[in-house]
Amino acid sequence: MSVVSEPGVGVPVLSLRELSVLLPVRPGDIFRSRSVPVLNGVSLDVHAGEIFCLVGESGAGKTTLLDVILGFCVVQKGTIRFRGRQVEQGRGPGRLQLNRNTQVVFQDPVASLSPFRPLGRSIVEPLQARGADRAEMRKTVRQLCRRMQIPRSLLRRRPSQVSAGQAQKICIARALSTAPDLLLLDEPLSALDNPACQETTMLLCRLQREYGLTCLLVSHDLRLVRAMATTVAVLYLGRIVEQGPADSFFERPAHPYSRALLSSALVPGLWPGQRIVLEGEMPSPLNAPAGCPFHPRCPERYSRCSRMPPPLRHVRPNHFVRCHRAGQGSSVQTATGHIAELECCEQLRSSQRPC
Amino acid sequence: MLKYVVRRTMCAGIVLFGATLLTYAMMMLAPGDAALEVAIARYGGRTLVDRDTIHWIRKKEGLDDPLHLQYLHWLQHVVRLDLGNSLVDEEPVLDLIRTRLPRTAQLAGAAVVLSLLFSIPVGLLAGMRQGSWLDSLGCALSVVGISMPNYWLGLLLILVFSVQLHWLPGFGRGDWRHMVLPVLTLATALTAYTARVLRSAVIEALQSEHLLALRARGVDSRLTLGRHVLRSCLIPVGTIVALEFGMVLEGAVITETIFAWPGIGDLLVTAVGNRDYPLIQGLVLLSATTFVVLNLLVDIGYCLLDPRVSLS
Amino acid sequence: MRPLLQVENLEVVFPGPGQGTPVLDCLDLALHPREILGLVGESGCGKSVLARTLLRLEAPARIVAGSIRLAGVELTGRSRRQMRSIRGRWITLAIQNPDGAMDPLYPMARQFREVYAPAPGTFTWRKEKTAWQEHLFRRLREVGIGSPEERCRQYPHQWSRGMLQRAQLVMVFAARPRVVILDEITSALDSTVTLQILGLIRRLRRQYGSAIILITHDLAVAGEICDRIAVMCRGRIVEHGPAPEVLARPKHPYTGMLVDGCRPGTDPSAGMV
């Protein structure tokens, strides 16, 4: 059973199946005599026009996943498909197509802009790399500035002369300059102050609607995820532990870790119930616990959790979770504060397509 | 750690091979007739040699053979730890090195010790009093020290202290007074360099976050803070001092020639002039080995001094 | 109740051309015993400079005017030697970067010893070594660091950021100070770990009775545990009051903007910048 969306919605823009990335225990160990999985069987689909948000804390493997998609990291197992076409390891037509039609917005805007170019020139860097002519570049800059309300005076400055929020705006403009099929966003707000965060969030939402962007957003900031996401997946120690439509996820998160994340986000209205304080921290892949990787910190663990890795279960349409507790009829606290019973797994499965 | 040392030793073999090969190639490309130069050196003058002698030397020492054969021939002896005999004196190269090396080591050791004696206080003061007149003075002196070429400095010192003032002997080897001027010449650049490195390290340590955090917690005694600062300076300064031994070997060549100090540097200069191949190769091998060992010690030292560094 | 720490009209400048660049401008602040005061402001408003100034570690900046009174004692005129006895016991600071707070070249045990062991150099400290070690291990277990005997032999780069931040808290509270300043200590941590640390701060306040200034750029974090909140903008306090009031009914427009920034999801059709 894999975490795929229903067929017939069109070929997904990006499709990952059972992706596994191993890291050798001793750096430089070319024979990889002992390796640990940094990503473990990750599968996801990003459809056109969808904003897929990957949520997780540091050490979960989010950066590795982006590295894999961009081709910076070698994959031991699994496949990547871009618009239905297989993406090879190393240089190949599939990889080339993915890289040409994907743009990235990075975490640190000032660092990802060339300090030697004025910002106006940075916006058209991808176009320049494709050999576009000056007229086209100028037209693109004009259009983007109008759309994103970037003042012309900003274009003449250098990255060190502007605030992080303004620099991130330029990076987003740069990413949109080639009208990419897929936009990757790697923690786009973490280097920004709160007011700039809000501005940038509104901007991204508006652009996504206007351009119909397909995005894969990686973030630990649940405010942004709430504003933008259509689908949310939670990553813990290299595995997706929960995935579902955004509304379903925020309304009733099914995995104890998801609930703890929502509770710790400190966003008013996101988790009105009592705070869930977890013990300990996410272990490193070198010390991955047996059974369910989350069980040492889980407030709802029981005997089976330390013995067997949890299976993937449907809890609602298109909403999956890897937890022994899910679908057992156990009581869970929902975001609205009501105590509700999870539907029985059999009941759910009968109303959905077979996995 | 052992595996690392073994791996580095094997790499070292390649470095040494490369160094000697390069030296050999350069010697071969040098203009002039090797046999002629050797004959002149051996018999004491151009007028005292004739064509037959030159021919005989050429045949005897195998200077006629193709280049690669000569090199291989030499290599074969080296692996048996036989560095051959000097073409001029016909003494074993190893013996020559054995006699002369301690004399150079004397100079080198004294120079490094003297440089540390001066550079540590200067560097510490300049770093702690950054921006003050002491700091500016220290920096200015460092610049002067680094910029003075040691042949110029050596000649200047001889001129002043030996010729004009007659306080110290200007050349040769004898008692401690003969050592003063050459050691001063060698130590000047070393002192300047070490002082600058120490100053930067001290400034960086004093501005570090953990020092602020320490003081904020109430750990504010000069002794404790000083220990933290010195410990962080140990790594850059230790590296420099270890590499200084290598630098001194270079400087020794010129200094020994100027002061007529009978050490390794002086031997090398003579050997190059005489086209004394076995001796040159032997000395190059010695130099290269010294550098390789020093670098290995520095890397191991890093690992021991900084817990964040691992040898892989 | 008289405030424990009273700052009045504080003016601090960075050395520069002319009079220098002002960093703190007529700043007034009051901290009462046993309270957690949240100091909220964006980066660049001078929060960290204020924190260092309160400990008289403001160099290279300079205090040009104003007063800082800690339990009635004026700090602005104190010499370095006098401040040495005040820091640590009366007022301390924990910094944002947990990696930077520890010396990377010393094992953790040595760094704890500098704070916990009685003054080295006196002859008694060796005999009492086991006593302070037991005390330390107990404290470490209390803050959630398991197997402290083994852990203390390690170096800082082998501890996770959350653990290092806890270690910093243990060191900072070692001498039971009256005032503790926490400078953005949760900013570099994950959200679940932040929640743990906030709970720990509450517990430590209960245990030691210290007054705490929690500096943060995130109003939500301040709203979580602070009794009172002071909002800082460009070197001065623009608003202060009980936390629920400041969050629910902000008076200053800057505070209003910060409060809006905390809300989840935004209406995308709302007006643009």
C199/A277 touch (CB, cutoff 8 Å), yes or no: yes
Average pLDDT, chain B: 85
- CA atoms of A143 and A149, how far apart (whole Å): 10
What tokens were used for A137?
């570049």
CA distance readout (Å), A39 to A22, A237, A309, B143 = 7, 7, 15, 54
pLDDT at A282: 86
> pLDDT (tens digit, 9 = 90+) per residue, B128-148?
888 888 889 989 999 999 899
pLDDT band at B77 (very low <50, low <70, confident <90, very high): confident
> pLDDT (tens digit, 9 = 90+) per residue, C247-272?
999 999 999 888 887 776 544 433 33
Q: Find the length of chain C.
A: 273
At A333, phi and psi to the nearest 5?
-85, 130
- Identify which of A201, A222, A277 has the shortest CB distance to residue C266: A201
B210 to chain C, any CB pair closer than 8 A? The answer is yes
At C73, phi and psi to the nearest 5?
-95, 130
- Identify which of A199, A279, A280 has the shortest CB distance to residue C273: A199
- CA atoms of B94 and A151, how far apart (whole Å): 77
B210/C155 touch (CB, cutoff 8 Å), yes or no: no
Q: Who has greater pLDDT, C31 or B175?
A: C31
C192/A278 touch (CB, cutoff 8 Å), yes or no: yes
B208/C100 touch (CB, cutoff 8 Å), yes or no: yes
CA distance readout (Å), C122 to A52, C85, C119, C126, C128 = 63, 17, 6, 9, 11
- CA nearest neighbour of C215 among C29, C44, C39: C39
What tokens were used for C239?
């608003």
Q: Given a cut of 50, is residue A349 above it in pLDDT?
A: no
Antiparallel, parallel or unpaired: β A231-236 and A51-55: parallel
State in Å, rounded, how far the first CA of chain C is from the last one.
Answer: 44
From chain C, the residues in CB contact with A269 under 8 A are 263-264
B11: left (phi over 0), alpha (psi -120 to 50) or beta: alpha
Residue C5 CB: number of other CB atoms within 10 A?
Answer: 23
Taking the CA of residue B107 as centre, how many other CA atoms within 13 Å lie in the half-sphere pointing to its CB? 35
C-alpha distance from A189 to closest chain C C-alpha (Å)? 12
In the block, tokens 């931040």 appear at C165
C-alpha distance from A108 to closest chain C C-alpha (Å)? 15
- CA atoms of C178 and C91, how far apart (whole Å): 6
DSSP code string of A147-196: HHT--HHHHTS-GGGS-HHHHHHHHHHHHHTT--SEEEEESTTTTS-HHH
Q: Which domains does chain B have, with CATH numbers?
A: 100-305 (1.10.3720.10)
pLDDT at B47: 75
**How many domains are contained in chain C?**
1
- Cβ atoms B196, B123 nearer than 8 A: yes
> pLDDT (tens digit, 9 = 90+) per residue, A148-189?
999 989 899 999 889 889 999 999 999 999 999 999 999 999
> pLDDT (tens digit, 9 = 90+) per residue, A79-91?
999 998 999 888 8
Residue C108 lies in a domain: yes
Tell me, what amino acid is at B31?
P
- Out of B5-19, B40-54, B113-127, C201-215, pick the least confident: B40-54
Q: How many helices (H) and strands (E) does chain B have?
A: 12, 0
Residue C112 lies in a domain: yes
Domain that residue C161 falls in? 99-176
What tokens were used for B17?
């091979």
Residue B219 exposed, middle or buried by CB count within 10 Å (0-12, 13-18, 19+): buried
C262 to chain B, any CB pair closer than 8 A? The answer is no
B3 to chain A, any CB pair closer than 8 A? The answer is no
Mean pLDDT of C226-246: 93
DSSP code string of C237-270: EEEEEEHHHHHHS--SHHHHHHHHHHSSS--TTS
- CA nearest neighbour of A83 among A17, A8, A13, A16: A13
C101/B210 touch (CB, cutoff 8 Å), yes or no: yes
Q: Who has greater pLDDT, B148 or A351?
A: B148
Residue C209 lies in a domain: no
- CA atoms of A129 and B259, how far apart (whole Å): 62
B159 to chain C, any CB pair closer than 8 A? The answer is no
- CA nearest neighbour of B296 among B288, B308, B284: B288
A282 to chain C, any CB pair closer than 8 A? The answer is yes
C-alpha distance from A268 to closest chain C C-alpha (Å)? 6
- In chain A, which residue's Cα lies nearest the Cα of C158? A284
From chain B, the residues in CB contact with C93 under 8 A are 213, 216-217
Residue C258 lies in a domain: no
Residue A163 exposed, middle or buried by CB count within 10 Å (0-12, 13-18, 19+): middle
- CA atoms of B107 and B179, how far apart (whole Å): 7
Residue C93 lies in a domain: no
- CA atoms of C208 and B41, how far apart (whole Å): 87
C95/B213 touch (CB, cutoff 8 Å), yes or no: yes
- CA C186, C192, C193: angle at the middle one, nearest 5? 45
- Identify which of A193, A202, A227 has the shortest CB distance to residue C272: A202
Tell me, what amino acid is at C232?
M
- CA atoms of A282 and A60, how far apart (whole Å): 8
Residue C38 lies in a domain: no
- In chain C, which residue's Cα lies nearest the Cα of B232? C105
Residue C160 lies in a domain: yes
> pLDDT (tens digit, 9 = 90+) per residue, C52-71?
999 999 888 889 999 999 99
pLDDT at C44: 80
In the block, tokens 């140990």 appear at B234
Alpha-carbon Rg for chain C in angstroms: 20
- Cβ atoms A223, A195 nearer than 8 A: no
What tokens were used for A127?
């176009």
C-alpha distance from B312 to closest chain A C-alpha (Å)? 7
List, in order, residues 6 or more apart from C192 with CB less than 8 Å away: A57, A260, A261, A264, A277, A278, A281
In the block, tokens 């360099």 appear at B193
Greatest alpha-carbon span in chain B:
87
- CA nearest neighbour of C252 among C225, C234, C271: C234
- CA atoms of C7 and A176, how far apart (whole Å): 49
> pLDDT (tens digit, 9 = 90+) per residue, B2-61?
788 788 888 888 888 888 888 878 877 777 777 777 777 777 777 777 888 888 877 777
C114/B214 touch (CB, cutoff 8 Å), yes or no: yes
Q: Is B304 helix (H, G, I), strand (E, B) or coil?
A: helix
Q: Who has greater pLDDT, C117 or A47?
A: A47
From chain B, the residues in CB contact with A26 under 8 A are 312
- CA atoms of B309 and C5, how far apart (whole Å): 44
Residue C163 lies in a domain: yes
- Cβ atoms A303, C231 nearer than 8 A: no
Residue C64 CB: number of other CB atoms within 10 A?
Answer: 13
CB contact residues (below 8 A), chain C span 78-117, against chain A? none
- ipTM confidence: 0.86
C175 to chain B, any CB pair closer than 8 A? The answer is yes
CB contact residues (below 8 A), chain B span 283-312, against chain A? 312
Sheet architecture: strand order including A77-82? A35-46, A14-24, A77-82, A85-86
H helix runs in A177-273, sequence order: 194-211, 222-228, 246-251, 256-264
Q: Is B272 helix (H, G, I), strand (E, B) or coil?
A: helix
C105/B231 touch (CB, cutoff 8 Å), yes or no: yes
Size of interface A-C (CB pairs under 8 A): 99
Tell me, what amino acid is at B87?
L
Residue C21 CB: number of other CB atoms within 10 A?
Answer: 12
Mean pLDDT of A12-40: 77
Instruction: Identify the DSSP state of B264.
Output: H
C199 to chain B, any CB pair closer than 8 A? The answer is no
Tell me, what amino acid is at B201?
A
- In chain B, which residue's Cα lies nearest the Cα of C89? B218
C101/B307 touch (CB, cutoff 8 Å), yes or no: no
> pLDDT (tens digit, 9 = 90+) per residue, B229-263?
999 999 998 888 888 888 887 778 889 999 999 88
- CA nearest neighbour of B157 among B191, B174, B181: B181
- Cβ atoms A180, A102 nearer than 8 A: yes
- Cβ atoms B282, B84 nearer than 8 A: yes
- CA atoms of A289 and A295, how far apart (whole Å): 8
Torsion angle in degrees (nearest 10) through CA of A88, A92, A95, A98 = -140
From chain B, the residues in CB contact with A28 under 8 A are 312
- CA atoms of B165 and B169, how far apart (whole Å): 10
- CA nearest neighbour of B214 among C152, C135, C60, C111: C111
pLDDT band at B290 (very low <50, low <70, confident <90, very high): confident
Average pLDDT, chain A: 84
pTM for the model: 0.82
- Cβ atoms C38, C247 nearer than 8 A: no
**String of b and e for C153-164 (b: at least 16 CB within 10 Å)?**
eebbeebbbbbb
H helix runs in chain C, sequence order: 47-54, 80-86, 98-101, 108-116, 129-142, 148-151, 161-172, 191-208, 219-225, 243-248, 253-262
Residue A218 CB: number of other CB atoms within 10 A?
Answer: 21
